[in-house]
Structure 1
Amino acid sequence: MRKRWLILAGVIVMSVSLFGSFTNQPKKFRNSDSDYMVSSGGMIEMIGAYIKADRAAPTPVKPIPLRQIPASELDAPESESVVYRLGHSTVLIRMDDQYVLTDPVFSKRASPVQWMGPKRFHPLPIEIRDLPSIKAIVISHDHYDHLDKNSIRALKDKVEQFVVPTGVGSHLRNWGIPAEKIEELAWWESFALGSLHFTATPAQHFSGRGLTNKNSTLWASWVIEGREGRIFFSGDSGYFSGFREIGERFGPFDLTLMETGAYNKLWRSVHMMPEESVQAHLDLGGRAMLPIHNSTFDLALHDWYEPLERAEITAENWGVKLLIPVIGAPVKLRNPLPTQSWWRELLVEKNR
């Protein structure tokens, strides 16, 4: 019962947050397609859905398979570009013999406090202290499951540049990151760092870390380009027309890192359903898709494995190359090897 009330308290805060983000009051940043998210009636419906939820598998009943990444592997010369999914939307990218890290969250919980909130349900495949030097950290937006204060502070001395949407730099400066290490971009703006090029592209989402700063910073998806390839990082987004425009401007992509998790019909405008994630990948002109934003934190009402199942079925039906690696396993950017449906071994018999 206590757990149910803690969950309810969290969703009330989230619901107020969502509702407050899309009132008629003036605000700094808006979505390009639609600013509708949830009405007051929808907020009540959302709270009711959480109270009534009776899920079979909100979190894994057994430890999920995980590959520990040896620090020596990251220091060794590598002829091909690779990506490592570290959990949720945290992805370590090796391209042009340099490392890029997306939305680093290494804390135990995706929360403003570490004694309450969504708890990580797998260990880290590598600790921050064992990471190599990072050329750039790319942030999609300032929500707690994407911008983690403790992780940013711990990574400070390993990182050459933080590449963030407009306004997000204010958080970093408050946490002790020097201003000269922060590059803030609006949608369609680009930044070159050696052989790597970063372009902030639109997403349909929102921002804010409290009840008084809704949409005061920008949210974005990202195009990451180097000599050895091109990657799209979705951040968080509902499905919208912007994916097709991004694909027309920058596609095709060797790999798309697509949000696939923490969705619900009640907040579909800001978090894609799995089928929409696959459609967005096609809009972008992606060659291979790697679903992110799943299998680490319980942030919605679906079972933990459902995003993977639905994405796999859709990708198979639509002829999409889908990659769902074990956390910590390397995936080649060019000509990646097929992955296995590892989550099925963890399902209780009645859920298979």
Structure 2
Amino acid sequence: MSQPDFSTRAIHTGQEFDPTTGSVIPPIYQTSTYVQDGIGGFRGGYEYSRGGNPTRTSLESLLADLEGGRHGFSFASGLAGEDILLRALLAPGDHVIMGNDVYGGTHRLVDRVFVPWGIGLDTVDMTDLAAVRASIRPNTTVLWVETPSNPLMKISDIAALVEIGHAAGVLVVVDNTFASPYLQNPLALGADVVTHSTTKYLGGHSDVLGGALVTSDDEIAEKVRFLQFAVGPVSGPMDAWLTVRGIKTLAVRVERHSANAQAIAEALHGHPALDRVYYPGLDDHPGHELAARQMRGFGGMISVSLRGGVAAARAFTESTELFQLAESLGGVESLISYPSEMTHASVKGTALEVPENLVRLSVGIEGVDDLVADLLAALDRVTG
């Protein structure tokens, strides 16, 4: 039998019915510890929930399957997973190359936690392969890629970056949060590790915090497993269960997110109040052709820059009605944010500083005509 469709795997992997009651939905194992059959006699390998929990195991097997990896790990947040991964990969004296357009919290983690520990950090435009190649040093250990990037929606060539990185003995990590496993699978393109904030599209309902790592590298997996157990930033059973619940509808949700975003991007494209619409589904996006090859769709994230500058951007952000002013993304409801003062406030004054006239949209799955009308009305109010 050939491998089942993504939607089938999203619903069934790790989700066997409860053999005791026949419950279609596996129970939530809301427990901290497990009875042993004699000292060291663990049932199913479970001893203490920091080290393992059946509900978390279910999620981790599902994450690994959907990303095409052998090892999946679930964390209390996306940054918790990134922190453990970097601890596993780096030692003082090592060097990290990071994209110059990534989530502000990721840059803050490396710049303000790992750099003082003795890690070197350079940021570079990951769409410029020559610049990436020139940035590699003898002590470079990790190439950190985010595509589509946050918030400028740059599209980086994962396979080409893997070729550059691996030729120099550098590990390639890809943050796949914006795309989700439904639209993009970096491991299949050669990446060593995939990271996610499962808070976003995987959870999908703005009601759970979480993070994930997936890899097929046994050595990396063993280091991550040890550090996760030793440090303890694991997802709780309720959070793991909610994330699994969200993943079951990932395919249909992302299809709707993408369709809505495409329609909105086309409706906003060329609007007199806007300098630019950043969406890889538009033909004039510089990464459009690459995204069409590398992804199965263009996703639900859009950014726009306002001709009226800071004042217009702030006013637009605060003028929508259906698009709610909030950080985060990937939920069923549409959100609007002002990255300069919200998600990317921590990178002001750095190479990652976000333009002050930029507004980011997380397009939900509401009726698209309603969403378009909301945005156009808000632009009308801003421009008078």
Query: Common fold, TM-score beyond 0.5?
Result: no
Specify which structure has the bigger relative contact order, considering alpha-carbon pairs within 8 angstroms and separated by 6 or more residues: 1
Higher CA-based Rg: 2
The structure in which a higher percent of residues are helix is: 2
The TM-score with structure 2 as length reference comes to: 0.29
